[in-house]
Structure 1
Amino acid sequence: MLKKMFNMFIFFCLWSISGVFGVDEVKSVSVTEGESVTLNLDITKTQEGDLKWRFGQFLIATFNTQNNERKYHDDSADGRFRGRLELDQTGSLIITNTTTQHTGLYQVYDRSDINISTFSLTVYAHLPVPVISRDPSQCSSSSSSSSEQNCSLLCSLVNVSDVSVSWFKGNSLLSSISVSDLSISLSLPLEVEYQDNNTYSCVINNPIRNQTTHLNITQLCQPCPEPLHCCGFTEAVIRLVLSALVGVTAVAVLIYDIRSRRLQQKKSLQTSQSHTD
């Protein structure tokens, strides 16, 4: 029993010490692609000697606090930081013209290779404007009779990730769908009445940005046109063959008529010549 209590006491002491002297918590930073971002170091923790900035396992920059010498490793990390890194007078790292490839963990080490600061950077792609369109299946021959009363719509996005798409009626959320990690196409349906006078909007958002498209019911929700009669394949082939036969017959009759007239004219000419002789 005493041994168990002693082990618990040691565990508690180690946990307390790690909380006081351990590495700071990860600082989360988010930006939109194309923006610049600064990963700020705590000046009080800046020590003499070289500070090393790492992106994952890659060394990307070093800063000497004594002579302010800066070195950038442009070929590191597949060259994704080439021409994009700056270090200010405190050793803080500035990344310009960010891309989604700069998303990841950044760590700073002192000359003794002790981690003194950690950042988690997320670079979000630009949000596309959501597109609202009429559901093309609504006016098909297989659509239900309910299409005569309601208008079916789709809010669509192409090649997106880490976003949510939502339909709003005024300020009230009607439906929502989210996707993360994988770039895919999204479509979120909505059904409204043709004479609906409420305000609807489709919103796409990530943790730092959003884009909104408002629904124009009058423009998109028109009654389905009357279906045009269309013959089947067999009937179409028969009609085509009949048309071809009629055309061939007409040409044959015309040729026969022309030849008959020429023959008659020839006979008349021969008869007139014989009477003259």
Structure 2
Amino acid sequence: MKKMFLRLVLLCLWRLAGVFGDYTELKSVFEGDSVTLDCLTELNDDDEIHWRFKNTLIAVINKPADSFTLYDDVLDGRFRDRLKLDKQTGSLTITNFTMKHAGDYRLQTNSLKVEFILNVNFKISANEGDSFTLDSGLTEVKDDDEIRWWFGYTLIAEINKQADSFTVYDDVLDGRFRDRLKLDNQTGSLTITNTTTEHDGEYKLKTNSMSVHFYLTVIVSVFEGDSVNLDSGLTELKDDDVMVWRFGNESTLIAAINKRADRFSVYDDVLDGRFRDRLKLDKQTGSLTITNIRMKHAGDYRLENFIRRLYYIRLSVYARRLPVQQ
């Protein structure tokens, strides 16, 4: 049994790092989800295991004493009722994950040290024309803090506290952020005003100690019978662009572009034909127009651009009010 256990541990070490010694595994977790930190498949009778968050002890296993202890009231109680230990493997599960749980977790056993770096991801939404704030999670920017905000792969704002520098780059990406970015000098949070579909997608926060991803869905509201243009955010397709439009929880393919092959396809007979004769692709930008909107067209639309980034758009459809008869 112990030989089998040793092989499994070595396999885990190889999977994480490919070498023996200290190593790190990176994980990303969406806010509200649970995450399990594991490596071992079975505890030995003489195992002692310590789990730490940064430098704070949050769980201990003493197998000889058959003791399994959680310290979930440490650090202002941020882990209260969120920690679960697996008594067979020693794995640690954190439930209802939030930004304050992001960071470095360390597993130490009699013979093994593993570091897990957990990043938190957020799904957020904003109505077209509204403002929204990307929260840094900080109450105060420290003297040595460096903070950068990215939209996709483009830097849009940064803070260098040591140099007392707070900079927004709102003329990038054809000026779509011009006069729309505001940095909070105290917390490093970033606000985007007057939101349009050009601003949906992935935002990244990187600081000295953490990385956070925000996935913004812009909510577009229309009346039945209207047309709506789902903007790709591009001014011109590149020669190597490959992109698809999807709809709904099942991510049903409704349109596809392969610029290299000069193919522009709409799949308007899917989903009981609800899009039949309603879809039009812009061959210059890749934007998608839906005409004669009905309630059944409400929902989530996603643009997957395999070269650049994702776009998320939520379409809300309202019934038109009939004029009141006098």
Shorter-chain TM-score bucket reads: 0.3 to 0.5
TM-score, reference length from structure 1: 0.48
Q: 1 or 2, which has the higher strand percentage?
A: 2
**Larger % of helix: which?**
1
